[in-house]
Structure 1
């Protein structure tokens, strides 16, 4: 005996900022009693889940943290970014996102608790008026971005120990008013160095003078560890880390950026962008518009996780993206997590089997 159950619905995907149109199909079929691991009356239900990545947004709330490298060589690049940030927020608003943004820098500072990172930098919304959080609907954003970023002190005694990843995590821990429960999260970082300048790799140092500014890193400083800390804080929402850096192996850009002060490729930042499906732009670009459009697309148009109706029976999972068989995912219980997010306009199909014990056909 065979029976069919079909159901189509809009399915909210974890780590996604838009609705996913999904269709599930189930086919019940009796399984021979002699099949290994099955008892008399057990059935394997063949499931098919089809997901079309649709830009209609399920969760329109987005918290953004802007992380600025405030070392001595960064003034011109920071202001180049300031010139385009209002265009970026306009793109977010056009896409229907209810965004808000906070600001921090990569340099550490001394406090009553010791040496810390992730200081909250207020936005200069007008003469004499500061605000920690700016959001959708704020007037004069272009002036606010220029005024605030121009006022950030560049250089100083702690220049050389910039830590964008640590600043992100520390800022999240100390500034809860910047992070709304259930809101998606994106980081925008700009830097012409790596975490702690050289990512804890002393062999990358280019001259003996910089040995005085070398800072070893621990496993907690690794991109994978920082990602785990961020996800623990924000929960099951979409998170992308987007960076404007010297891209790894871009020797021409690294040489150009080193004319004023020694610069290094951002390997740690590039890695975290890759892990989260975020965008990476070049700090050597004369105009950051292209990078900011890329970041908007990465924030909006990605699918990372597909949830299934059961934990698939044995090796029954078969996944295709746009008709092509893929294996770049991990299966844990009832969730398939792609190594790289699937972009807008793609069709994902997952075929798998669910075990039904005896006469239980509840699935």
Structure 2
């Protein structure tokens, strides 16, 4: 099985107004004067030179279960990260409370940005962490924290961050995207057993926290500080490959965002503050790229607490639950029909999704036609399933749940 390439002409996030009729075709238009040409018409995005355009048709009836959300934390456990991870833990309970007040049926899993050793010679990427309810390590809470869990969330988040710890061997080669990629593999609900972190009818929100980029410097030699720090990005480290893989695994209509708490690209004061601790930090270019590509939020790791970041993520998550994923950033006119009508609704393109200002109620059918730029280049993502990784132990923290390939 090969993975489909989801390529757009641009990543622009444009505010659009959608006037919905009872069951007629509707066109997007841009309200900003900056987007209007000299003839008074909204100019169409220009496709990549030499590329052909293909027609894309989306049709789907909104289901009542569209308030389900699977949250995946991807935590950098390198030596410098424990104070920042504690700030994240301190604000997660309020974050969850706000999700619950929005009637969102959530569950949460966590993994780290490195491969976890399972034997003297083997390591496993994307393994889920056991949630902890007190200072004594236990497996009793399992690896999937649910809305229905009758626990003290503040205590669980605080003890789990301490349980994860920081500064392990090889933790300085941070690879949050690769870890998330393998976490998807391990959670593919089309196979059993799986990690239980993904539900077939749920949206997904990833939250990455790291003070560096993928493989520390995102494969960019200009960001190198230490000798040997430059490491080539593999396919599983690349933002577009991850987007492709999620959609090939869970379906083209899967709603998901990747949110990141990072040293924002260009924020030199934040970088200097992080560097003052001794170890050098790096701008999170690749994590920011992935967040932009999926319509997720980007927060600063230097904030005194992460409540503002998490509030932003809530807004992005709500958007994702009232959005339609696209195969690309559309080129030209987008035609939409919602049957029956729900009146006039604002909408915008974010990454590769159309986001509605209000959720389309269950039972309504959304029909969208648009064009994608296409070319003859092969997909950027790797084909087929990755080789499954066995998991046996890791200081008694993990459960043997990874499936074997046939």
1:123 aligned counterpart, secondary structure: coil
| Structure 1 equivalent of residue 97 of structure 2 | 90
1:118 aligned counterpart, secondary structure: coil
- Within 1, Cα distance between the matches of 2:335 and 2:141? 54
Tell me, yes or no, if the aligned pair for 1:25 and 1:48 is still in contact at 8 Å: no
Alignment counterpart, residue 268 of structure 1, candidates 286, 302, 307: 286
Q: Does 1:231 align with 2:247?
A: yes
Distance 1:119 1:25, change over 3 A: closer
Alignment counterpart, residue 232 of structure 2, candidates 216, 227, 238: 216
| Structure 2 equivalent of residue 76 of structure 1 | 83
TM-score by length of 2: 0.63
Q: Does 1:165 align with 2:177?
A: yes
Tell me, yes or no, if the aligned pair for 2:73 and 2:109 is still in contact at 8 Å: yes
1:211 aligned counterpart, secondary structure: coil
- Within 1, Cα distance between the matches of 2:345 and 2:104? 31
Q: Which is strand-richer, 1 or 2?
A: 1
How do residues 55-70 of structure 1 correspond to structure 2 at under 5 angstroms?
59-70=66-77
Give the CA deviation at 1:233: 2.1
| Structure 1 equivalent of residue 381 of structure 2 | none
Tell me, yes or no, if the aligned pair for 1:240 and 1:277 is still in contact at 8 Å: yes
Alignment counterpart, residue 276 of structure 2, candidates 259, 270, 277: 259
Alignment counterpart, residue 140 of structure 1, candidates 152, 156, 163: 152
Gaps of at least 5 residues in structure 1 are: 1-19, 27-46, 51-55, 308-314, 330-336, 354-363
Alignment counterpart, residue 259 of structure 2, candidates 242, 260, 271: 242
Distance 1:316 1:267, change over 3 A: closer
- Within 2, Cα distance between the matches of 1:351 and 1:169? 29
| Structure 2 equivalent of residue 48 of structure 1 | 26
Bigger Rg, which one: 1
Distance 1:279 1:338, change over 3 A: closer
Tell me, yes or no, if the aligned pair for 1:48 and 1:351 is still in contact at 8 Å: no
Instruction: Give the CA RMSD over aligned residues.
Output: 3.4
Give the CA deviation at 1:178: 1.0
| Structure 2 equivalent of residue 43 of structure 1 | none
- Within 1, Cα distance between the matches of 2:202 and 2:133? 24
Tell me, yes or no, if the aligned pair for 2:27 and 2:334 is still in contact at 8 Å: no
1:200 aligned counterpart, secondary structure: coil
| Structure 2 equivalent of residue 149 of structure 1 | 161
How do residues 1-363 of structure 1 correspond to structure 2 at under 5 angstroms?
23-26=21-24, 47-48=25-26, 59-111=66-118, 114-126=122-134, 127=136, 128=138, 129-138=140-149, 139-175=151-187, 176=194, 177-206=196-225, 210-235=226-251, 236-260=253-277, 261-302=279-320, 303-305=322-324, 339=352, 341-342=354-355, 344-345=357-358
Distance 1:257 1:93, change over 3 A: same
Give the CA deviation at 1:218: 2.8
- Within 1, Cα distance between the matches of 2:23 and 2:268? 52
Please give the per-residue CA displacement for 1:220-246, whole angstroms capped at 9, x wherever unaligned: 421011111122222222101011001
Give the CA deviation at 1:23: 3.8
TM-score by length of 1: 0.70
- Within 1, Cα distance between the matches of 2:345 and 2:100? 33
Please give the per-residue CA displacement for 1:191-217, whole angstroms capped at 9, x wherever unaligned: 0000010011122112xxx22343211
Distance 1:181 1:83, change over 3 A: same
1:101 aligned counterpart, secondary structure: strand
1:158 aligned counterpart, secondary structure: coil
Q: How many residues align?
A: 288
